[in-house]
Structure 1
Amino acid sequence: MSRLTDHLVVISFDCLSSLDFPMLEQLPHFKDFLKRGSRCKQVETIYPSVTYPCHTTIVTGNYPKNHGVVNNTFLQPGRVSPDWYWHRKHVRGTTLYDEAKKAGMKTAALLWPVTARANIDYNMPEIFANRKYHHQIPVSLINGSKRYQLDMNRRFGHLRNGLNQPELDDFVLASTVHTIKNKKPQLILVHFVDLDSQRHYHGFSSKEAMDALKRHDNRLGKIVQALKDAEIYNDTTIAVLGDHSALDESKAIKLNVLFREHRLIEVDAKGKLKNWKAFCKSCDGSAYIYVKNASDSHTKEVVKRLLENLVHDETKGIERVFSQKEAATMGADENCSFMVEARRGFYFNEECEGTLLHEITDRDVRAKRYTHACHGYSPEKEDYTTIFMLAGKGIQQNAVVPSMHLVDEGPTFARLLGLNLGQTDGQVIELFLTS
């Protein structure tokens, strides 16, 4: 298969929403980008619409049930901070960066989710120290490209402030610019989290979120300038995308409190979970319900009855209950027993202490125990789509695709690079391409 471009730069602005498009059209670098390229303002995300499954879908063209990354974090009942799907080994099948490497292309990834220990030439994976005895820098180094990361930390580490934003994205930007100028990879995947972070802790339309969009405009401009400085701009395709949108919320639903009341969860004297029959695993705006023993039909029936009773009362915040089969049909984890969708204004929390519903306060959010906005909701929610924009070599100018799916992005990227992802859930969006 012939290549349509020599270099592909994929820029993910986490939590970029279709509702942001009017503002993007007014920001100088986005405005210039849109003039040169093509776009889709209505991209349907996946279910559950959380970051790690979304970014794995983007590079595989598959839904979570097929690529295997079904949530951000693992099902680890009782853990205060569950481990994340950080590592490449959790992805079933091939990926865009795998195929690019097989084809002899130079590859780079900066904070792209689920790339720890992936076969990427210049890899700075998104992974953090999740144990008291871990330290961030060694954890990052052993899971990515050691020399490359040491070099980036030596040059730009002063820009970081731990994992705080916007400083972390400033560090990623500086590392991206340097990588483009000095390494000139054929494929580079970059993940920026500033906007997502501001929306979580300040709200969807907050001033902080709008300021993050302005910073993203500046970041886009600097990446474009780096391509020009490296003299590869005319041979490059740039993709700018979001993975999901977000919705404001004011109440947390704690189904594990209910399960505890019905003796489906057992805690010790200190309130720590020690045994469970059923567990609510949060995906923020949605949640998986797992029954520990798959053959425990009694527990499944009890859980089903409890959930159905909540749906009938709008004040309890649950919009819909999906069966295991329905969840799998939507592309979610086929190993769950049920999946639940929150109403607007609500999201799911895994705590088994307190009351079923928790009214979120500013103090809660400052302590980072709860958020003001989140994602994870069904792609069928109104005003919940994201954006996909392309410009550069191999791309039509001013082509507008009315709607598409997140699973279509991987196959389209593969076509641009002359690669084949094999059988995927998505398809190439030919309208974007020059041939």
Structure 2
Amino acid sequence: MKNKPNFLIVISFDCLSGLDFPVLEQLPNFKEFLHKASYSKNVESIYPSVTYPCHATIVTGKLPKNHGIINNTFIQPGWESPDWYWERKYIKGTTLYDEAKKAGMKTAALLWPVTAKADIDYNMPEIFANRRWHNQILVSLMNGTPMYQLEMNKKFGHIRKGLNQPALDDFVLESTVQTIKDKKPNLLLVHFTDLDTQRHYHGFSSKEAMDAIKRHDDRLGRIISALKEAGIFEESAVIALGDHSALDESKAIKLNVLLQKRGLLTADEKGNVKDWRVYCKSCDGSAYIYVKDERDDEAKAAVKQLLDELMKERENGIENVLTGEEAAKTGADDNCVFMIEALKGYYFSEAITGHYLEDIREQDVKEKIYTYACHGYSPWKPDYQTIFMASGKGIKPNKVIDHMRLIDEGPTLARLLGLEIGEVDGRPIEELLDLE
């Protein structure tokens, strides 16, 4: 493969939607990038379409049930802030960055999900202090590359304002630019969450979301400029992609409230779970329903009866109910008993206090109790696609792929680098590649 790139830069713009494509075409850096790029603005995400499963899929080419990252967070009933699937050890099998490292390539990852404690040369993992006694900087240092992170924090830490956006992405950008210039990694994975945050707390088409897209345009331009300054642009392939889209919502569904009323879980008046037989685990636009004891047929029958009742009235906000077997066929967790999909305008909360249905109020969003837009919905919902754009060495120019899937991205990126990532659920999009 004489046309194989020596450098692959994968930029994930979290929550970039196919509906954003007309906006991207008018922004200076995306416009220039797209002038020679091949792309699909109709990329089918995975189920559930949430960030951590999506990013594990991008680097493995597998569906969630096969790579093991079946949600953002663990099943920890009653926890106000459940732990996330931060660590690499939770991914089953190999990844793009593992195989790149084995092939002698220099690797870097900045806030790429599920990379804590991964074998990456320059690793700044996405992980946050989730205990009162934890310190954010120490948690990051312990789970990534300590000296590299200290170096980036020393140079650019003044930009960051905790986990607040857009300051966090501005810090990640400066660290990315410096990493390209100083380290010249053969594989660089970078994850920006500014747009996702703005859509959650202001709405899909809000001014704040549109401003975030404009900031992403600047970020793309800075990264390309850094490749040129480092003298490696002509040997590079640049991938800009999204992981999922988002939908606006105005009502929160709290199924656990009903499960408590039916004696299927117990909690105190503050919503602290004492015990449970059945639990609704949110994926935002969808939710898993788990039974604690798989032999508890009585609990399974009781929750099925409840769901059958709720499905009779559209106002209850549930669009679809899948059995565990049906959920597994979509690629979702095969350990759930049911998987439920919210109607457009609704999403699932794990809260146990209050009413089954809650209107989302401005004050609730300000206090980060609820959001105005979310993802996690079925990837087959209309107008819910994401984007894949590629340009540079090894990429054919101006090819438009009518439809592709998130599971195709891992095999495509591996093929671009001449790597094998084992058994996958997708396929390399050969129509994009020009490697001979």
TM-score range, shorter chain: over 0.9
Letter in 2 for 1:394: G
| Residues 303-323 of structure 1 deviation map (CA, whole Å, 9 limit, x = unaligned) | 011012111211010000000
Q: Map 1:45-64 to 2 at 5 A.
A: 45-64=45-64
8 Å CA contact 2:141–2:149 kept in 1: the answer is yes
Distance 1:269 1:142 in 2: 37
8 Å CA contact 1:319–1:343 kept in 2: the answer is yes
Give the TM-score normalised by the residue count of structure 1.
Answer: 0.99
Q: Confirm whether residue 352 of structure 1 aligns to residue 352 of structure 2.
A: yes
**Aligned residue in 2 for 1:79:** 79
> What secondary structure is seen at the aligned counterpart in 1 of 2:303?
helix
Distance 1:141 1:208 in 2: 32
**Aligned residue in 1 for 2:416:** 416
8 Å CA contact 1:3–1:418 kept in 2: the answer is no
Q: Map 1:190-229 to 2 at 5 A.
A: 190-229=190-229
8 Å CA contact 2:3–2:434 kept in 1: the answer is no
**Aligned residue in 2 for 1:21:** 21
The structural deviation recorded for 1:268 is: 3.0
Distance 1:66 1:327 in 2: 13
**Aligned residue in 1 for 2:121:** 121
Q: Map 1:82-161 to 2 at 5 A.
A: 82-161=82-161
Unaligned segments of structure 1, at least 5 residues: none
**Aligned residue in 2 for 1:382:** 382
Q: Confirm whether residue 265 of structure 1 aligns to residue 269 of structure 2.
A: no
The structural deviation recorded for 1:4 is: 1.4
**Aligned residue in 2 for 1:364:** 364
Letter in 2 for 1:418: G
Letter in 2 for 1:371: T
Letter in 1 for 2:104: G
8 Å CA contact 1:256–1:351 kept in 2: the answer is yes
Distance 1:3 1:318 in 2: 50
The structural deviation recorded for 1:269 is: 5.3
| Residues 61-101 of structure 1 deviation map (CA, whole Å, 9 limit, x = unaligned) | 00000000000000011111100000000000000000000
| Residues 105-144 of structure 1 deviation map (CA, whole Å, 9 limit, x = unaligned) | 0000000000000000000000000000001000000000
Distance 2:16 2:80 in 1: 29
8 Å CA contact 1:2–1:418 kept in 2: the answer is no
Aligned residues: 435
Distance 2:363 2:33 in 1: 40
> What secondary structure is seen at the aligned counterpart in 2 of 1:275?
strand
8 Å CA contact 1:300–1:337 kept in 2: the answer is yes
Letter in 2 for 1:246: A
The structural deviation recorded for 1:183 is: 0.3
Distance 1:383 1:53 in 2: 20
**Aligned residue in 2 for 1:343:** 343
**Aligned residue in 2 for 1:238:** 238
Unaligned segments of structure 2, at least 5 residues: none
Q: Please, which moves more after superposition, 2-11 or 391-400?
A: 2-11
> What secondary structure is seen at the aligned counterpart in 1 of 2:225?
helix
> What secondary structure is seen at the aligned counterpart in 2 of 1:266?
strand
Counterparts in 2 of 1:269 and 1:204: CA distance versus 1, 3 Å: closer
Counterparts in 2 of 1:3 and 1:258: CA distance versus 1, 3 Å: farther
The structural deviation recorded for 1:267 is: 1.4
| Residues 389-420 of structure 1 deviation map (CA, whole Å, 9 limit, x = unaligned) | 00000111100110000000000000111100
> What secondary structure is seen at the aligned counterpart in 1 of 2:274?
strand
Letter in 1 for 2:213: L
The structural deviation recorded for 1:270 is: 4.4
**Aligned residue in 2 for 1:6:** 6
The structural deviation recorded for 1:272 is: 1.6
8 Å CA contact 1:55–1:112 kept in 2: the answer is yes
| Residues 3-58 of structure 1 deviation map (CA, whole Å, 9 limit, x = unaligned) | 71110000000000000000000000000000011000100000000000000000
Q: RMSD in angstroms over aligned alpha carbons?
A: 0.8
The structural deviation recorded for 1:2 is: 6.7
